[in-house]
Structure 1
Amino acid sequence: MTEATSEAVPADAETSDIRDDGDIAADYLEELLDISDVDGDLDIEVRESRTYISVNSDGESNLSKLADGETVDALQHLTRLAVQAETGEFSRLILDIGGSRDARRGELAGLVDRAITRIEEGASSAALPPMSSYERKIVHDIVSERGYVSESEGEARERHTVIRPAPSA
């Protein structure tokens, strides 16, 4: 059985549209979990005008079979399409299943750390592998926290992040 909860947010027009996205996505995911016979609790949160939906389980659950990165990305894409079909608008919602996004953030932090090590050893820059715009945003944030600069380069599926030392002030 699934359960959806949501965080209280101000009731302005933009937020109510986002909340609608979250409710539509939650309904879609609840149905998908029920059909798949997977137990999970849904949490909806709105941060920086973006809806985040987390699917977690407190006890024994077969949720882990949906928590690998490619599956989460595919389910996020399907959920975005379900929201778009209902609202007629592109959805930017982010789906996390069983903490998979936090795990991926840790992997990305490791990639950034290895790239920074290459720069500290004398490389003028370090390129990371291609990744989604959401993952590149996370990388840019991590790089900035570490005191370096980054930019995205390339097109379409080849778009990737390049890290460089921050210019001297």
Structure 2
Amino acid sequence: MTADTTPEKSTVARLEEEGEVAADYLEELLDIADLDGDIDLDIKHDRAAVEIVSEDAPELLSPLVGRDGEVLEALQDLTRLAVLARTGERSRLMLDVAGYRSGRRTELEGVAQDAVTRVRENGESVSLAPMNAFERKVVHDVVTAAGLVSDSAGVEPNRHVVIRAAPAH
């Protein structure tokens, strides 16, 4: 009886493959839509990170972001499905277009910090406006780092974050 000697694909190699598959898919989409953009690949937070960028005219990529990032969310889902179809594995890749998500992340970190300050000042819980899953995750991370507690409440599209003081031990 011989042991299986085929090494399991390393996490980095798997994430790089996800990024390459996503890049191929998105390049085809850009061609079909007749949009100019370059694809940047990276690995961040144990996920493939793919960004469509344009140094010449980033505003021309705005149709791929849509209102409040709705098109970007859908495009990310489609890209994840393309990776699944090609690799047979589910992907958690993050897609950004023209820096929208990174800018939104900075904005949300400020909103979360303001809410943390309010909870600390008056001890009452704070409910934030409805957010998508990416946005809620950013807020949860800030709240956890601040030592407070947060939960998601409600049902899509009105799912939102509620921040409260951590229970005393």
TM-score between the two structures when normalised by the length of structure 1: 0.79
Structure 2 Cα separation of the partners of residues 134 and 52 of structure 1: 13
**17-26 or 125-134: bigger deviation:** 125-134
> Structure 1 residue 53: deviation in Å?
0.3
What residue ranges of structure 1 are gaps of 5+ in the alignment?
Answer: 1-10
Query: Which residues in structure 2 correspond to 1:109-120 (within 5 Å)?
Result: 109-120=109-120
Are 1:105 and 2:100 counterparts? no
Structure 2 Cα separation of the partners of residues 13 and 119 of structure 1: 43
Contact 2:123–2:165 (8 Å) recurs in 1: no
Q: 3-state SS of the aligned residue for 1:28?
A: helix
Q: Could you tell me which residue of structure 2 aligns to residue 78 of structure 1? A: 78
> Structure 1 residue 135: deviation in Å?
2.1
Q: Supply the AA of the counterpart residue of 1:33.
A: L
Identity over the aligned pairs, expressed in percent? 48
Report the structure number with the largest CA radius of gyration. Answer: 2
What residue ranges of structure 2 are gaps of 5+ in the alignment?
Answer: 1-7
Q: Could you tell me which residue of structure 1 aligns to residue 124 of structure 2? A: 124
Structure 2 Cα separation of the partners of residues 142 and 100 of structure 1: 19
**77-86 or 154-163: bigger deviation:** 154-163
> Structure 1 residue 158: deviation in Å?
4.9
**55-64 or 18-27: bigger deviation:** 55-64
Contact 2:113–2:142 (8 Å) recurs in 1: no
Contact 2:136–2:161 (8 Å) recurs in 1: yes
Query: Which residues in structure 2 correspond to 1:8-157 (within 5 Å)?
Result: 13-60=10-57, 62-68=60-66, 69-120=69-120, 122=122, 124-154=124-154, 157=157
